[in-house]
Chains A and B, each alone.
Chain A
């Protein structure tokens, strides 16, 4: 507080909903005492599209279109949650080729997502260069994703029972080459440019420390939780797809204990290498698999039997879950969506008070969220 001889008044400062620092329409109502934040309220819902309600009037294939879009940076992971839930309800056996190809594409999608934040986070701290490198690498992988699925962001490639199509001839080699190029260039360019940079470290080290307890209390997940020492990764802890068959030296879980912005950024950066390793391993396995189908022939109308299930996956930004309740119709009776960004943003109310206003952008940016994923 101020010295006492001067009467001070708290100031309420609105960051957003239209503000370049919030990448999207998140609004932060900050109460300031001078330069210091005393209260922070994330105001969400400016981009609410009623995704859960829309799910209820669409069949499972049409739902995939929507799940592609609530977190537009992890479309493949989102599709995956829904199809896994429906397949579990139907007791459907997914062909082994589809399982490995899904794992591969999920990891490539994770790299794409992380590269976005690896580029945009330095921008928020005033470094413009890394985003160009990040986007060059994104382009590399997007080209690979476009060749197999036809889409660069909204893949629409999962189907209940497998994937839409198999890999085009020559694609595995092109994917492998892209993975190799990206790995080298992430290491030599983005990593070399940002990780050791004094200005970047000064802006992020010890800033916005998220304790493990707080992360647990708010249900924070993904790289942000792992940067606080919360060692949870569904790929290892509750394996879905082919993650259980990955050797432990391929599926490494990146953790940090510091919980500050730098730790969160480094978690993201190191996870890119892990994902690229997993992708390469999947490509090798896919090469060795025998001839087989990529999907299951479906009836004209896919109806999940009456019942309920909860399918959660380790999305690039954290735990993404779908609670599917079906009454045996072709549309779900209820499809509850648990998104990673929603929980990760809520913790800002605890994280920001006490910090300086100048650090606000650094902390906000390091929570790595997609507003569409927050507002659903």
Chain B
């Protein structure tokens, strides 16, 4: 290739000059909050009321970072002659975010919609040991869960529409 020596360098400087005059793309993060899409996988929130302690999420988790403890309680018979029922009561629900791979399998397998993705991401800690978050903390993230976005027009309509 025969060209004027230094042409490529001058050309490059031209790019720099042009870019200098354009607006900066940097987001001043702590001052400007990023605008995250609703599907963003930031943190897993727990809606405790929906959890039936079926343990599916804990079993399907690829690195077993969900800890669930529960006990059985007997509910006395509602009417005469009926048997008393037992039901599971959640004692502990914790997710160890230092192990979590953010795959979302737990949310997908939950048959009772107790787990949700939230784009919330500001829960860094100084120690890995503090990354295990218990159910009250997971519950606090529930208000940050966004409504699922509408699909494109030629997508198949969803089978279940959230109320």
Contact = CB atoms under 8 A, between A and B. Distances in A.
A150 B151 contact: no
B17 to A, nearest CB: 12
A154 B101 CA distance: 9
A146 B39 contact: yes
Contacts of B5: 198
B65 to A, nearest CB: 12
A150 B104 contact: yes
B136 to A, nearest CB: 25
B128 to A, nearest CB: 19
A291 B154 contact: yes
A147 interface: yes
Interface stretch (B8-16, B76-84, B85-93): B8-16
Interface in A56-83: 58, 61-62, 64-66, 68-69
B25 interface: yes
Contact of A171 (B14, B152, B156): B152
A290 B154 contact: yes
A299 to B, nearest CB: 13
Nearest to A68: B103
Interface stretch (A25-33, A185-193, A303-311): A185-193
Interface in A3-26: none
Interface residues of A, number: 50
B102 interface: yes
Nearest to A65: B103
Interface string B54-90: 0000001010000000000000000000000000000
A292 interface: yes
B62 A62 contact: yes
B41 A150 contact: yes
A97 B108 CA distance: 21
Interface stretch (A161-169, A207-215, A227-235, A350-358): A161-169
Interface string A162-184: 00111111111000000000000
Given A151-B41, A196-B11, A168 B151 contact: yes
Contacts, number: 115
Interface residues of B, number: 37
A201 B152 contact: no
A135 B52 CA distance: 45
A199 B9 contact: yes
Given A168-B39, A168-B150, A198-B5, A61 B155 contact: no
Contact of B101 (A65, A147, A149): A65
Contact of B151 (A149, A156, A167): A167
B153 interface: yes
Given A146-B37, A169-B149, A169-B150, A65 B19 contact: no
Contacts of B152: 166-172
Nearest to A136: B25
Given A197-B8, A199-B9, A139 B25 contact: yes
A62 B60 contact: yes
Contacts of A172: 152
Most chain B beta-carbon contacts within 10 A, residue among A58, A68, A168, A189 = A168
B6 interface: yes
Contact of B9 (A146, A148, A149, A198): A198
Contacts of B6: 198
A42 interface: no
A89 to B, nearest CB: 21
Interface string B13-28: 0111011000001000
Interface in A276-314: 286-287, 289-294
Interface string A134-157: 001001000100111111001010
B155 A166 contact: yes
A294 B152 CA distance: 12
Contact of A293 (B19, B60, B103, B156): B156
A156 B104 contact: yes
Interface string B120-142: 00000000000000000000000
Nearest to B8: A196
B150 to A, nearest CB: 4
B15 A189 contact: yes
Nearest to A69: B101
A129 to B, nearest CB: 7
Given A146-B37, A188-B15, A62 B156 contact: no
7 contacts: A65-B105, A129-B12, A139-B25, A146-B39, A166-B156, A197-B11, A289-B154
